[in-house]
Chains A and B, each alone.
Chain A
Amino acid sequence: MIRIESVTKRYPDGTVAVDRLSLEIPDRSITVLVGPSGCGKTTTLRMINRMIEPSEGTILLDGVDILRQPVNTLRRSMGYVIQNAGLFQHRTILDNIATVPRLLGWGKEKSRARARELMERVGLDGSLAKRYPYQLSGGQQQRVGVARALAADPPVLLMDEPFSAVDPVVRKGLQDELLRIQDELGKTIVFVTHDIDEAVKLGTMVAVMRTGGKLAQFAPPAELLSSPADAFVEDFLGADRGIRRLSFFPSAGLELLTSPVVAVDATAEQIAARDTTDAPYLLVTDLDGKPLGWSEPQDLTAGEIEPDQLLPYGRPFVAATDSLRAALDCAVLSPTGWAVGVDTDGRVAGVVSQQSIGEAIRGAHAEGRADGTAEQAATVTR
């Protein structure tokens, strides 16, 4: 465990970058430091591997003061990923990844074999091994950066706004990849970002910092969204935190109706037989069971259903795994106000109304309140 004990960083000109910060970073999980620019999050990260020395306070790694081992030994035991990757432009991808193993004195062959293994792990094609950084896209370079940080299998990974400089689509891919790698490797990751959405998505614990290097709140993301400590945190979380919080409620509990679903080749009797007391619309699917669109029952004529005449169904949610946020999003995207739940193959599992989703949300809030008090007592370490 990394334990930051009332650490202060004061510069000679009197600026205080970090002000009596105390933080317990749990093992084998992602702790995100988030805040506006100038809040001292990067300074805090860099004090952990001693790229910046604190003015006061101590940092303990597994109970031992980090000052007690040689600085380069400490640094080689912590992977480091930086914005824009910071690759060595004069070395091949393979040699970039093999850097720390080489510094640790591994043989050339062993280091390169390890580097090849990591390229695969971070989703880089082996054919890139002999290329130079300028030949890679920004997203690929960042993957190399992650692979390089993991090369010597360090227990700790420090990540300084690693995904800030890539476009949103690539960023989402990198975030998902990081979560997948973390599932496999279970590193202790300290992740700095200014993007609260990224913090909420990646963090097991999120430390919100405010200008002046003070800790505003340290909590799991769901708790952050449900009960921000003060106006600053609330403001920083943004206007739609209520909606975002729904990401933490599973959609599995929603009751999906299958009665308002008909196939495109349905006969007149089948259409007539649909029970429309609960649902004023029918969802038409193709022969595979994939959604085509909504229609009012009286507009459907057996044998003459035109898929492009149907009302749009939005973006269906995966019934087993997606959150209530995805379900609600689907419901508001469709003019019918109904959401389409699908299985992992995209076949319709059932439909659900905005009203039922609303009930599920109220239910989830009630549950959240019930164990929220216990949760707070357990996790608050401020």
Chain B
Amino acid sequence: MNEFFDLPSDLQHSYLGLVALHLREALLPVLAGLLVALPVAQLCVRLRWLYPPVLWVTTVLYAIPSLAFFVILIDYTGLSELTVMIPLAVYSLVVLVPAIVDGVRSVPQETLAAATAMGFGPVRRYVQVQLPIAAPAIIAGLRVASVSSVSLVSVGMLIGNAGALGNLLNSGMIYNQPRLVWLSVIGTAVLAILVDIALIVLRELVTPWMPRGSRRTTRPTALKDAAR
């Protein structure tokens, strides 16, 4: 059984090592994207006119092929994981910004007025009222961004050993070994499903206040072409 997971030595990783690398390269960018998207989205909520241009910019950034990013970034960050992760973080914005904006805007006017009238300052109101109520929408955005990110990491193989399971796919094709190809493709798919399930569990944990039945929040429409 163990030889089933044996990998060519040029990959410099065990199978589990590749999986861990893949996960890190996929999820750290989403986390970074979230940290950027939160303040950007809040600005868009406050200044309505800013939202359309911001959406436009994130969409254009999403349209830039990762290879083009790599060519530019290699001068600065070299053939590293970081070079792979920066484009992924940029891509995640196209889902996360609208998800957060929609989530924060979905807070009912009465709830906001009540919070203001009870003496919540703007910061406290954002952290204690708007963000928690936006959580389901934000997590829905995170699900799309994470799954898409898991599938996108593979392109890292273009710049050497930074593609994790993508490099495995490449090796499988070079050495004509279908076993490696299957390990890569199925491994990536299972990883995407597990990440999605983990986020669903997280949502259940943080939103005990959601009516049953309506828990299936619709995903943001911005990224129907998630698998690029």
Contacts and interface: CB of A to CB of B under 8 A. Distances in A.
A binds B: yes
Interface string B143-172: 000000000000000000000000000000
Nearest to B211: A134
Given A89-B209, A90-B132, A132-B208, A82 B119 contact: no
A30 B111 CA distance: 24
A75 B133 contact: no
Contacts of B116: 51, 75
16 contacts: A49-B117, A73-B119, A74-B119, A75-B117, A76-B118, A80-B118, A82-B117, A86-B114, A87-B114, A88-B115, A91-B209, A92-B209, A99-B118, A103-B119, A134-B209, A134-B211
B209 A82 contact: no
A330 interface: no
A51 B120 CA distance: 12
Contacts of A49: 117
Contacts of A103: 118-120
A309 interface: no
A209 B104 CA distance: 35
A51 B117 contact: yes
Contacts of B3: none
A76 B119 contact: yes
Interface string B112-138: 111111111100000001001101000
B119 A72 contact: yes
Interface of A: 49, 51, 71-76, 78, 80, 82-92, 99-100, 103, 132-134, 145, 148, 158
B14 interface: no
Nearest to A74: B119
B113 to A, nearest CB: 6
A158 B118 CA distance: 11
B108 interface: yes
B10 interface: no
A149 to B, nearest CB: 8
Nearest to A145: B114
B207 interface: yes
B110 interface: yes
Contacts of A78: 117
Given A87-B111, A88-B114, 17 more contacts: A75-B116, A75-B117, A75-B118, A76-B118, A80-B114, A82-B110, A82-B117, A86-B113, A86-B114, A88-B129, A90-B129, A90-B133, A92-B209, A103-B119, A134-B210, A148-B118, A158-B117
B165 to A, nearest CB: 38
Interface size class of B (residues with CB under 8 A): 20 to 34
Given A72-B121, A76-B118, A76-B119, A89 B110 contact: no
Does more than half of chain B's interface fall in helix, strand or loop, or is it mixed?
Answer: helix
Does more than half of chain A's interface fall in helix, strand or loop, or is it mixed?
Answer: mixed
B117 A132 contact: no
Nearest to A77: B119
Contacts of B207: 90
A84 B110 CA distance: 7
A227 to B, nearest CB: 36
Nearest to B212: A134
> 6 shortest A-B CB distances, which residue pairs?
A86-B110, A86-B114, A80-B117, A75-B119, A76-B119, A72-B119
Contact of B110 (A85, A132, A148, A158): A85
- B108, B116, B135 — which one has the most chain A CB atoms within 10 A of its CB? B116
Contact of B108 (A76, A86, A145): A86
Interface in B81-121: 108, 110-121
A89 B113 CA distance: 14
Contacts of A71: 119
Contacts of B121: 72
B97 to A, nearest CB: 22
Contacts of B132: 90
A148 B115 CA distance: 11
Contacts of B113: 51, 82, 86
Contacts of B211: 134
Contacts of A132: 208-209
Nearest to A100: B118
B114 A82 contact: yes
- B110, B117, B129 — which one has the most chain A CB atoms within 10 A of its CB? B117
A75 B116 CA distance: 8
A80 B186 CA distance: 57
Interface string B1-41: 00000000000000000000000000000000000000000
Given A90-B132, A90-B207, A91-B209, A83 B110 contact: yes
Contacts of B135: 90
- B108, B114, B115, B135 — which one has the most chain A CB atoms within 10 A of its CB? B114
A89 B119 contact: no
Nearest to A132: B209
A78 B115 CA distance: 13
A352 B121 CA distance: 61
B111 A86 contact: yes
A332 B135 CA distance: 59
